[in-house]
Structure 1
Amino acid sequence: MKFCGILFGEERRKYTDYTIKKSPYKKDIVKQVVDAYTAEGIDVFLYFSILEWNNSNYMGKAPSTPEEKAKFNKFLEYTRNQLLELLQNYSQIKGFWFDGTWDQSWIQSYDFTYKLEKELREKHPGLIIGSRFRNDEFGKRHFDSNGDMLGDYEQGWERKMPKEFEWLEGRDWDCVMTIPPNGWGYMKDWSGIYTKTSDDLIDMLMNCVSMNGNFVLNFGPDGNGRMHSGEDKLAKEIGDWIKVNGEAVYGVRHAGLAPSKLGYFTKKEDNLYLTVFNRPVNNIVRIAVPKNATTVPVTAALLQNGQTWF
């Protein structure tokens, strides 16, 4: 499981005044979250936006003059220092979830980003970095000009999913999804727009995990850390569903069966799960088993109440 949070903590103290030490709270929130999640056995990824409007040395366009290049080089070194400090201060983290890497200034810094990724991995063996972080010398993102993935897992599925498992060609991947359309930050007014329901999001979750994906759902808090009341409602509804059906969600893999019109198959060890979204009128569920199957289901049970059929 990932925890993605905007970094505004003690970890920034060496390289900027934009730090939580300047706030009334003063304590290191990031450390508290990392420690708490780690204690519960939850892997922690830190969200890190390369794009930083707060930094006067940042620019979106590719630097062209000697002055602009010198200025942006200061930003690159600042970014490197922050990432290395994060690894030093929060050694429990499993990886970074990078964002804001589409500006030409970053795209043209391909030699720097290649060396930086190598340095981060050397400092933190096993560090997981997705395909958003960098591009090749021709500006190709996610996959280089030879078709090789630029990272440990594919991050190109933003607010969309592959239609077929075969499209993924065995790659690890995630889908990052918003609740309002393209609503990444706090949106006070949800009127007049379609916001996804818990049924929508649970369907997307199961579609994702049925293809070995990781579903990343975005919640945008306000300046005081409070969620929209609609997001609170969705979180509770999804959480209640997970309490009953989590066995079909966590630690599962692609089942290797043809897609079903009823819902999504997942598999864990010798257990096959079918999460039904399109319930048959006659309440009879039939599963097509391949003729060359070496194992077949012998019993069926509902996760909700344990009712079993032989």
Structure 2
Amino acid sequence: MADYSPEDLRRLDVLGRLIAAAAARSTNPQALPQDLLGAEADHGTVTELRERVRDLEGVGYLSVDWRNSGGWSARPTTQGRDAWAVLEAARGNVRARRQQLRDEYLVWIVDQDDAGASPTVDDFLPTGANYLGMPYTQEDIEQTGKWLSESRYIKGPGVWGRPDPIHPEPTAKGRWTVEEGKSVNEPTNDEAHAAATFTNHYYAPANVAQNSHDVHQTINIGWQDQARELIDEIAHRLDNVENEQARTELAAAVAELRSEVDGQARPHAVRGIVTKLGLAITTAMAGELGSELTQHAFQLLGALPA
């Protein structure tokens, strides 16, 4: 998942509202202050929105016509639409959202247990927990509680019609996972062969002990390698795209990314291409396959230097 700060999310949510407002004016697609403010906004709110719009213009997401009266009209740019589409796609990634929730929910349960509380499952959502600025849903909580219970991280009584414990408590396994700072999404010893885990540090030429026991090494993979992995993943799956136009556009974006990575490798250029790729993937590939590749694109965006 790309690293969005709370400020990034607030700014992009304003962008999303402006895009929707502009789309509502089909003959003249532009957004006006009153679209977001209403008729009786106070001076502080008006000023805050104006600054948000200036920020969005500064990063190339809006084209703004500023009026001498202090008013303005804004048109989303292609870059702005792509940035909003990528965030929307990420927010819609159910698998990634629930993987994050598993860890957050388990930590909350352990914290409640440490405080001597006896929480119910319905006490969690009011804490304001969210994924990329969007609150978790009731279905998210139920399915996450079910997964944690079946995986023996939590326990507790259930109720007819619900798959998750209504009074969750941590098991010894769940408490240990939280106290060790681990993620429940990491493979456990019975899920992965211990000899397959390597941590390789490369600071100079060295031999890699791939077949040695009790060797811990770390491989530091740069963003260029991540980009090449994404390129190969998409290229190998292009045949799964049924729509010929979508397949052609996706192939062109992959070729553009390959050229940049193997050429000048400019992070800002790669960021723009990957953002475009994320939108193309969302359009061309539905379901789990598209979500997986979109998530990989997000991870690459998060790895790019500023």
Could you state the TM-score of these two structures normalised by the residue count of structure 2?
0.26
Specify the structure having the higher radius of gyration (Cα): 2
Larger helix fraction of residues: 2
More strand by share: 1
TM-score normalised over the length of structure 1: 0.26
